[in-house]
Structure 1
Amino acid sequence: MSQPYVGEIRMFGGNFEPNGWRFCNGRILPISENETLFQIIGTTYGGDGEQTFALPNLQSRIPIHQTNPGPPPGISHYIIGATGGVESVTLTTQQIPVHSHVAIGAAVTGDQTSLDNALPANSVTITPYLNTAPDAPFNPAAIGPAGGSQPHENMQPYLCVNFIISLFGLFPSQT
């Protein structure tokens, strides 16, 4: 690996922390043992700023670049250290576009001699549509609900890797 900057974050395919690096898992660190890294990230990701500070927590998160104040139209303003987004979403009826469901039915000829929950015998054909509005409410089973307001996954395809942050290395210059 080339010499990293202090506070540099890299993707890492291993399941261990290399020497001089820590997982970006929100861990709280003592300032007294990590003064150089604290100079770079401060309490951006947490900690009390007197005794402790926190590493960024990239567990189950996608990093995005911060935007400068007053970004161009169509670009949201993101501040370093801010978090957002959710892994699942429950849609409400207000979020679903206006649409309709087609009623499907067929003409059937009866084959029963009893009228209890059945069509009458062969002499009558029942059609599913009326030329006039019905004068009785539909049975709830005939017009059952669509959907169910359950949450659905809101994640893009992914590959899990670890993010690590450098504790040591070159101190980044602002000039």
Structure 2
Amino acid sequence: MDYYLGDIRIVAMNFAPKGWALCNGQILPVQQNQALFSLLGTFYGGNGTTTFALPNLQGRVSLGVGRNPNSGTTYAQGQMAGTQNVTLLPSQLPAHNHFFAANNAPGTTTAPAGTYFADSVAPDLDFSNAGLNTVMAPGALSATGSSAPLPIQQPYLGLTFIIATTGMYPSRN
């Protein structure tokens, strides 16, 4: 089978065969891998003088470089970005309603503290002019959301990415 130096393949086994290395970000010496370094440079790390890094595809998806015609975003060779979780702010949520809790038992007080709205009975025992910041029963207004991160990870299947450390040197023509 012919392959180029620097080819990346996805395999179902959990090791890299002879002539291949895992795409796990490992640092390699330039001196012993000059041909591969000439292709990868420091796109994936290393100091460029004595070391360079292989791509790290552990827990990542690959993405074509260049400009995305839909979003206008440009992706550079070796660029890493993204997150598996995001915490949304209230300003990022769509408009929505919360349910207000009440019951149909006859009202017994004009003081709303620790109570629910009730069925109106004379003399209007279901209202209060107690002012703002009165605390009603904990369930009077339904709570929605929390500050917990929201997982946004797409479905996945773990496979092994490997890179050819030997092979034909690719020509640019």
Question: Quick check: TM above 0.5?
Answer: yes
CA deviation vs aligned residue, 1:74-97 (integer Å, no higher than 9, x gap): 332100100110011111111111
The one-character-per-residue Cα deviations of 1:4-45 (angstroms, maximum 9, x if unpaired) are: 111111101111111011110000000111111101001110
Gaps of 5+ in 1: 111-116, 120-125
**Which has more strand, going by share of residues?**
2
Equivalent positions of 1:9-158 (< 5 A) are 9-68=8-67, 72=69, 74-108=71-105, 126-127=118-119, 134-136=128-130, 137-139=134-136, 141=138, 142-143=140-141, 145-158=143-156
- For residues 111-163 of structure 1, the C-alpha deviation after alignment (integer angstroms, 9 at most, x for no partner) is xxxxxx899xxxxxx428x8x97423242612353211101211011000010
| TM-score, normalising length: structure 2 | 0.81
CA root-mean-square deviation:
2.5
Structure 2 segments unaligned to the other structure (5+ residues): 108-113
Give the aligned residue type for 1:166.
A
Taking the aligned partners of 2:115 and 2:35, their CA distance within structure 1 comes to 82
Count residues in correspondence.
158
Distance 1:83 1:12 in 2: 22
